[in-house]
Amino acid sequence: MTQSKLDRLWRSYANQSRSITLVRWLGYGLLFLALLDLAVILIPLNLTDPVWEFRSTGAIVDRLPVPLIGFVMVFWGGQDYRRPRERLILKGLTWSTLSLALVLLILIPLCLVNSMRIYNFKVGNINALRSQRLALVERLEDKLSQTNSVEEFQQLLNQAMQNRSAVRLDTSQSLSVLKAQMPTYLEPAKSAIKQQATIDQEQANSERPGLLKRAVKWSLGALVGAVICLRIWQETRWARKKSYL
């Protein structure tokens, strides 16, 4: 082989080495950025909140392409052009792909369950608020029935209706007549409470398909990511061999 051919081979080797090294450095950078994103998503932890868990799952899955590309770039070229200090790092990274795959598989049922929990939580809050407000109206009704004067009746009614237009009573009427007319004063408040609860329930029902759609999307994304991570783990068994370390 002539000297010119040897020079060309050497230049080709050097160029390939520099290119692969650049790709790997970019992969390490992407993994570091993905780690920062993960820290921002998970801190502070709020594992008892289904809304936080649902949104965090979606944020993790949506950013999944970055670490997957990073892993592929880091392992690009296999064992060629590696430095000795990379060996332990690569061993840790290859096992981290398996760990990530297991986490993504766990997120699939968690995402679906949390979508149902969020809907049930909203419906429960709507019903609880409706019952609470109706109970306040009933307590007001009890207090009004126990009043001893028209002035006291008027004062209690105005305090209860302070967020609405004030109710003016005909003070010429007797207290017993005013008490008999209590349903006339309180029924609009009860109707407004029930109407608001119906509106909130309809809104929750309208949001449910979108909630389920996001849950399915993120679950499928997590499944695809888990399969890719397992495939990367299988193809990087060379990094786990003692002979390589």
Number of domain units in the chain: 1
Show Cβ contacts of residue 170 under 8 Å, excluding neighbours closer than 6 positions.
178
What type of residue is 154?
Answer: Q
Assess if residue 73 is contained within a domain: yes
- Residue 245 counted as domain residue: no
pLDDT for 10 equals: 47
pLDDT in tens, 94-137: 999 999 999 999 999 999 999 999 999 999 999 999 998 888 87
Look at residue 144 in the predicted model and tell me its pLDDT. Answer: 73
**Span 11-42, pLDDT tens digits:** 555 555 567 888 899 999 999 999 999 999 99
Let me know if residue 29 belongs to a domain: yes
State which residues form the domain around 146: 3-240
- Please, which residues have CB within 8 angstroms of residue 111's CB and are 6 or more apart in sequence? 54, 57, 58, 215, 218, 219, 222
Tell me whether residue 38 is in a domain. yes
| Segment 99-104 long-range contacts (CB within 8 Å, at least 24 positions apart) | 100/67, 100/225, 100/226, 100/229, 101/225, 101/226, 101/227, 101/229, 101/230, 101/233, 102/226, 104/61, 104/64, 104/222, 104/223, 104/225, 104/226, 104/229
